[in-house]
Structure 1
Amino acid sequence: MNFASLQFLLFITAFTALFLALGRTRLFTPFLLVASYVFYGYWDYRFCSLLALTTAIDFWCGLKVADASDRARARSYLLLSIGSNLAILFFFKYFNFFVDSAQIALAGLGFEVGRTALEVILPVGISFYTFQNLSYTIDVYAGELKAERSFIKYATFVAFFPQLVAGPIVRARDLLPQISEGRPKPTFAMQFAGLEKMVWGYFLKLGLADNAAAVVDARFTQPEFYNSLHHVIGLICFSLQIYGDFAGYSLIAIGLAEIFGYTLCPNFARPYFARGMRDFWRRWHISLSTWFRDYVYMPMGGNRTQWLRLRNVTITMLISGLWHGAAWTFVLWGALHAGLMLAEDALRWLGRRSGIRLPGPVRTIGRLALIPLVFLLVTLTWLPFRADGLHTVGTILSIIAQGDFSLPHGMQQVSTLLRVAVIGLVVFTVDAAIEAGAAPGWVRTGVVARTVACSSLIVLLLLLGNFDNRAFIYFQF
């Protein structure tokens, strides 16, 4: 169910009425669970059975890990949880990708084999709730979390509808205690802050992302019809689109949960103000980057030595690329980010070895200059992320390399580009103010001023927004 659809408006209206009516009764948690499954099943009711299956497996494994008589037995149940989750994820998301890749490789060696492919529907949000389940059993095994004894509460944690299909990837240690308390009692300040987040999220999605999408889609559908300037504009617009789309969804999810009294972890922190690639990943999709840090990077040895750092960054980013999609373009995207992070490490090491100490003002200017540089690098790496194949990546790069930055007569989509520019300027201004430390002062501002600001955003969105009901990008992951 799309947050920007009429169906969601009807759903959330009914949900709110029952939320208020049930109060702190024993029926509240089952109601929240059923509502979450109704929300998820709207795409395809068959998805619910898979969600229920993985939930049951991990709930049972969590109990077995907690009650195991020794570490070896506990480890066997942990491996069962990890293996079953990854097997399900592999089957639905990666089976055809690896089969096709193997057939192409064999054909290259002269072995012709018939194509073996399955018509498998990718369940919405499977990558998100798989990682959420995995973190639960791993934390129980590590002794960082007590196993949940109520299946209803655990199932509600996994299926909690605001963040189910596209995150944030919430840890059990953060959300399960809130679920266990029954119906929360949100304060007015909490609800108002949640409403602000939702308004800003819709502004990012319908205003920035969906307007930029119209520009991006045209260039990636028929790249040969556009010159270098067009494709540079297209890449910049995709940077804006994916940020507005995914950060917008996260804010809507976090704000929606906050209105009803639940606190979810932040997922974005102004990533296009990053001053390095490591800094970028501290700000972009925070719940995923911290998940990989805690459950992949650190268990492999982290950065205890330079060799481990090089190996673990490469492996982690390649896995991150595959997590996003079953295509070599995503693997390339992960490899590019790994290369940029390791190149940054090398430059830092050379800077320390040189012993050169620059004056304070020069360092300040240098740090500010890093912001557009990092944005440029990240924007270039979005090319394989958005492209439908490596051939499209090559086509667009070759066109950009031709250096034709002329502005054609009768340039199309001028009005759309102007909308993107106006809304992008608003987003940049707000993010810059927050980056400069304005957020605490804004929270202390009176409700009237904050209401006027939200109302102004809504009016601007109604005037300039795109209401074509586009799906969120990360639904496909």
Structure 2
Amino acid sequence: MKKTYLLAASYYFYMCWDWRFSALILLITLINYVVGPQIQKAKSQAQKKFWLTLSLASSLGILAYFKYLNFFIESANELLQEFGFTSELPILNIVLPIGISFYTFQSISYSLDIYRERVEPVSSLRDFALFVSFFPQLVAGPIVRSSYFLPQLDNNYENTATSIEDGFALIIRGFIKKIIIADTLALHIVDPAFADPQAYSPLFLLLAIYAYSYQIYMDFSGYTDIARGVAKTLGYELQINFNRPYKAVSISNFWQRWHISMSSFFRDYLYFGLGGSKSGNVYRNLFITFLMIGVWHGAGWNFVIYGFIHASFVCLERWRRENRRRQGIDEQSFKGSRLLLQIFWIFNLVAFSRLFFRGGSLEGAVTYAQSMLQFDNQNTPVSLVGLGILAIAITAHYLPDSWTFSWKKTYSSLPSIVQSILITIITFLLIAFSSGDAPFVYFQF
């Protein structure tokens, strides 16, 4: 009964946004549930590919319709205008379903894993539907693969006192990240700067770029903590999605630390599917993969450029590694001041590339960049609250893991009554700090 209740709760959770789109999750669920066994039962490789293609084309086709069709229409209109055509293709009134990128990828991971003989088809439609729609991570991840989550449903783990305590600790940490840090950075620095960049000095705009990097990290990793925490209280495990991304020493290393469930999905299913480093041109494979990572985040040329920037640097890093290997030079390592400089350099590359992310459009990103060159503008309205929270965010990110996670052990060792009082106090503080109108950043993807 537990799984039945969770399935009903998951669909109710999604229907609270818009009940009509629950049919969309059900459709994608049924497509992959039906196709999965057909892939396994296929008697030839050609038949297997047919059923897999059917799964991918239908699921990704639905995603493309809702997320990318208007982008294609707008791009076609611009191209037609370049050739002198005056009439335009009509823009469709399409609502982007929340979380569609996440649950679509989860669904197709099932068909792909069956095709690669990593999992067996699941017999229970209820279990598969729960895997696709599990509410803690339904709308913003982490992207859970069938090979990771379906065995948990099959074993039907029971939640324990320890898992509940660990879960509440993660939930508390997630809300602190979101409300105290991410929302405060947005309110005091990021939102004003990006709303009207021409009104502020280059110094304030630079500060906003750095603040946005910590806002989006605390916002997204905070949601992941909440999702993992809620899942733990229910007796299930979701994977870790972040590993101190701003400690990265290369762009490749950054993507090994940032949104791990998504980047590893593209690596395993797209990059390796294209041939990886063993088949075809590795640089072509890398470029396609990172362009798709960019486009996954949104439909717009700004996201294409975002992916292009990261693809270029990842390819450059690989070329330099291969060049060193051919010359018999050991792989480059960083220590001391060189390590700090390399981390700072990579952080700046990531932060400035997000101009195309947060700018809202290609024009918005260009306007922001141009405003950073208006050195006669001295308007720098930096608040102590904003600076203080940014300093806390930076410090928390670079502290050793053993320091930042030791509090969870302390919390778990407290008597239940003390834990309850602590949760109550923190809840009231979070309500007091909450603006009430700041959705999680990755809900839009």
Common fold by TM > 0.5? yes
* Structure 2 residue matching 1:130: 3-state secondary structure: helix
Matched, 1:320 2:293: yes
CA 1:72/1:457 → structure 2, altered by over 3 Å: closer, same or farther? farther
CA distance in 1, matches of 2:46, 2:331: 55
Q: Name the amino acid aligned to 2:395.
A: T
Q: Is the 8 A contact 2:36 2:111 kept in 1?
A: yes
CA distance in 1, matches of 2:364, 2:98: 26
2:115 alignment partner in structure 1: 141
1:471 alignment partner in structure 2: 439
1:425 alignment partner in structure 2: 391
Bigger Cα displacement from structure 2, 63-72 vs 235-244: 63-72
CA distance in 1, matches of 2:269, 2:344: 32
Q: Name the amino acid aligned to 1:316.
A: T
Shift of 1:349: 4.4
Shift of 1:376: 1.0
Matched, 1:45 2:10: no
Shift of 1:397: 1.3
Q: Is the 8 A contact 1:207 1:464 kept in 2?
A: no
> % of aligned pairs identical?
38
Instruction: Map Cα deviations across residues 183-211 of structure 1 (whole Å, 9 max, x no partner).
Output: x3223222222111111111111111111
CA distance in 1, matches of 2:49, 2:361: 40
Matched, 1:206 2:179: yes
State how many pairs are aligned: 441
CA distance in 1, matches of 2:313, 2:36: 38
CA 1:258/1:105 → structure 2, altered by over 3 Å: closer, same or farther? same
CA 1:211/1:444 → structure 2, altered by over 3 Å: closer, same or farther? closer
CA 1:352/1:402 → structure 2, altered by over 3 Å: closer, same or farther? farther
Shift of 1:377: 1.0
CA 1:469/1:454 → structure 2, altered by over 3 Å: closer, same or farther? farther
1:447 alignment partner in structure 2: 412
1:115 alignment partner in structure 2: 89
CA distance in 2, matches of 1:217, 1:113: 37
Instruction: Map Cα deviations across residues 417-465 of structure 1 (whole Å, 9 max, x no partner).
Output: x334333333433333344x54786665573579789769938954983
Q: Which of 274, 281, 293 pairs up with 1:300?
A: 274
CA distance in 2, matches of 1:429, 1:91: 43
Instruction: Map Cα deviations across residues 164-222 of structure 1 (whole Å, 9 max, x no partner).
Output: 0110000111111222234x322322222211111111111111111122222222222
After TM superposition, list the pairs within 5 Å mapping 1:342-353 onto structure 2: 342-349=315-322
After TM superposition, list the pairs within 5 Å mapping 1:332-343 onto structure 2: 332-343=305-316
* Structure 1 residue matching 2:348: 3-state secondary structure: helix
CA 1:429/1:412 → structure 2, altered by over 3 Å: closer, same or farther? closer
Q: Can you give the 5+ residue segments of structure 1 that lack an aligned partner in the other structure? A: 1-26
- Report the TM-score, using the length of structure 1 for normalisation: 0.85
1:329 alignment partner in structure 2: 302
CA 1:359/1:91 → structure 2, altered by over 3 Å: closer, same or farther? closer
Q: Is the 8 A contact 1:229 1:405 kept in 2?
A: no
After TM superposition, list the pairs within 5 Å mapping 1:163-202 onto structure 2: 163-182=137-156, 184-202=157-175
Shift of 1:404: 4.7
CA distance in 2, matches of 1:190, 1:101: 49
CA distance in 1, matches of 2:197, 2:341: 31
Q: Is the 8 A contact 1:250 1:267 kept in 2?
A: yes
Q: Is the 8 A contact 1:199 1:457 kept in 2?
A: no
Shift of 1:297: 0.4
Q: Can you give the 5+ residue segments of structure 2 that lack an aligned partner in the other structure? A: none
CA distance in 1, matches of 2:130, 2:74: 37
2:369 alignment partner in structure 1: 397
* Structure 1 residue matching 2:281: 3-state secondary structure: helix
Tell me the C-alpha RMSD between the 2 structures.
Answer: 2.8
2:217 alignment partner in structure 1: 243
- Report the TM-score, using the length of structure 2 for normalisation: 0.91
1:221 alignment partner in structure 2: 195
After TM superposition, list the pairs within 5 Å mapping 1:25-64 onto structure 2: 27-64=1-38
